[in-house]
Amino acid sequence: MSLAFNTDKRRYIRYELLDYAILNLDGSKDSINVVITDIGLGGLQVRSKSELALGARCMITVAVVDGENLDLRGEIRHVSPIPGSELHAAGIRFVPENHEERMSIAEFVHAVFQRQADQLTQDE
């Protein structure tokens, strides 16, 4: 679990994650392959070969355990190149449009937390 105490101004804890996803920028037909590196109730961070535009709205599609896809609406809040690679890191804040979307985010983040907790107890 990533947690910075001094400079991190996040409202929610972030959980480390390595999960593939598809990102679609609003107004674009092109899909961008991304890897989600951490997630919390407020948003997530992705890595991509594409430099994403600051402030752009997007939809991130992830596959979940039951075989369904989960669509997460977001806004790109920060972008930075990763030194020594051709990758870019982007922080995306969730912007759900209704209660159902908020619940989907909460359930997905809880599932990530639960998988990590289960893994920790199995390793003991």
Mean pLDDT of 41-53: 95
Give the highest mean pLDDT range of 10-14, 43-47, 106-110, 113-117. 43-47
Q: What token pair was written down for 98?
A: 């209704």
More confident residue, 7 or 83: 83
Amino acid at 102: R
Please check whether residue 21 is in contact with residue 46, taking contact to mean a CB–CB distance below 8 angstroms: yes
Bigger pLDDT: 86 vs 112? 86
- Per DSSP, the chain holds a count of helices (H) and strands (E) of 1, 6
Sign of the C-alpha dihedral, residues 55, 78, 69, 71?
Answer: negative
| pLDDT of the residue at 83 | 95
Q: For residue 3, is pLDDT > 50? A: no
DSSP-assigned states of every residue in 32-64: EEEEEEEE-SSEEEEEESSPPPTT-EEEEEEE-
Contact 38, 44 (CB under 8 A): yes
Q: What is the pLDDT of residues 105-122, one digit of tens each?
A: 999 999 888 887 777 777
pLDDT band at 8 (very low <50, low <70, confident <90, very high): low
Which residue ranges form the domains of the chain, and what is each CATH number? 15-123 (2.40.10.220)
Per-residue tokens: 112? 């990530």
Query: Which residues are CB-contacts of 80 (< 8 A; sequence separation ≥ 6)?
Result: 88, 89
The tokens describing 84, both together, are 């020594």
Q: Are 76 and 89 in contact, with CB atoms under 8 Å apart?
A: no
Q: How confident is the model at residue 124 (pLDDT cuts 50, 70, 90)?
A: low
